[in-house]
Amino acid sequence: MMKYYDVCIVGGGLAGISTAYYLLKYGVKNVILFEASRNVGGLLRSMVINGYTFDIGGSHIIFSKDSSTLREILNILNGNYVRHRRNSKIYIDGRYVKYPFENGLKDLPPEKRFECLRDIIEIYIKRLKGEVKEPRNFLEWLYYVFGNCIVNTYLKPYNEKLWKIDLSEVTLEWVQGRVPTPPIEDVMKAAVGLDTEGYKHQLNFYYPLRGGIESLIKSLINEISGKVMIKVKSRVRRVRLDDNDLIVEVSDDEVRCKYVVYTAPLNESANILKDVLGGMSRELSLLRSVPLIVTSIGFGGSSLPYHWVYVPQKDIIFHRFAFLSNYSPLNAPKNCTALITETSLSNQDELRSLNEYTFLRKVVEGLEYLRIVKSEKDIEVYNITKWFNAYVIYDRVRSEVLSKAKSKLLENNIILHGRFGLWEYLNMDAVLSKSQSIARFILSKSE
């Protein structure tokens, strides 16, 4: 007889695991979770190699504008965390400029400092006078807010390197709530050498003391272990309707459930959801994302005192690197450095055809150029991790596809969730907050 569950969760990343946690917390106990890979955690995965701990899903930190959500995350970690004041930079023309760039103008040469200040004041006055058109896309918005110098020096080259597309294809949805408009007074202060801070919601952040960022996943697992059925290496093949229930077919089984919380990559879900969406399901494959390679490197010796560094320079292959041993001293053996680099690619085919040796050589060359390592002989351990979906692209197709698919699925008790289920760039705090809301919604429907 087919087993019945109140809730079936598809995907074992932070969205799926935290949803299971909150469902259990609110008393919904008959829950099963399917994860296609051999491990849960999604992008919040850590790997230990010879005493080095690497976050193989990229650089992640814990912060939130919402104090209650932040307290919740720290409570889940149960004291296993350290607090930091952000020390992050942007590498520009041989200099480490304070992040965010507009707050680090004092680190630029005087001529460039003047040019950036002049341009942002000029565009600010034009906006006040109504002399510039309202922006229609991300690229126009950058020029509309920051002026030519800041955009051409950093924002445009860095974002093009990250997104691998023409920035005019990125909609203003990406800006909303993610890219704040800097106070003009702060920019003026920075240009004359006074200290200012931007992105203040992440100025102070937290990070696990032990176990890397995956400690958050493991802490959640400890809370639900033995109470929620978790099945790894179980790829969902199909979700279909059956009277008032949903049937979830996996590799070697199928279950009946009332609700499905769907966190798997939506762009790869056309066949899985076609019974519910019909012909509309084909449009899911139009959703675009940026693949990512995370290179983990451990070497002897100390590091620069920074947390993470953005690299807009085109001839360096990676767009960002992070000193994880500055996140926690336990991430590397004594007097050693744990570092990761992040490199985005244009598409999944480029990722599949990657020559790992050639790629690693380019990463090391970039680190040598930056004088992070003297030579590849200094490297004690390394690892390359490939992610076929990392950053979701906010193009015009995205909103059209989601508006139709999301409501149709919800009508049939399938709730999209997480970065890849909602196709929305969510930070960890937003994921947990949405998980809590979903659990409350399901509880309210079952009462």
pLDDT at position 447 is 64
The residue among 49, 45, 69, 40 whose CA lies nearest residue 428 is 69
d(CA 328, CA 29): 35
- The residues with which 96 forms a beta bridge, in sequence order, are 91
Residue 74: CB atoms within 10 A of its CB come to: 16
Residue corresponding to tokens 């380019």: 362
For residue 397, the surrounding DSSP H or E stretch is helix 396-411
The residue among 181, 209, 161, 99 whose CA lies nearest residue 345 is 161
d(CA 447, CA 443): 6
Low-confidence ranges of the chain (pLDDT < 70): 177-178, 447
d(CA 29, CA 23): 7
Burial readout 116-142 (b: 16 or more C-beta within 10 A, e: otherwise): bbebbeebbeeeeeeeeeeeebbbbbb
Q: Is 414 helix (H, G, I), strand (E, B) or coil?
A: strand
pLDDT at position 177 is 64
Residue by residue, what is the 3-state secondary structure of 360-382?
Answer: HHHHHHHHHHCCCCCCHHHEEEE
pLDDT (tens digit, 9 = 90+) per residue, 121-131? 999 999 999 99
pLDDT (tens digit, 9 = 90+) per residue, 26-76? 999 999 999 999 999 999 999 999 999 999 999 999 999 999 999 999 999
pLDDT at position 2 is 86
Tokens matching residue 117: 């200040």
pLDDT at position 253 is 87
pTM, two decimal places: 0.96
C-alpha distance across the termini of the chain, in Å: 26
pLDDT at position 4 is 95
pLDDT at position 123 is 96
pLDDT at position 243 is 87
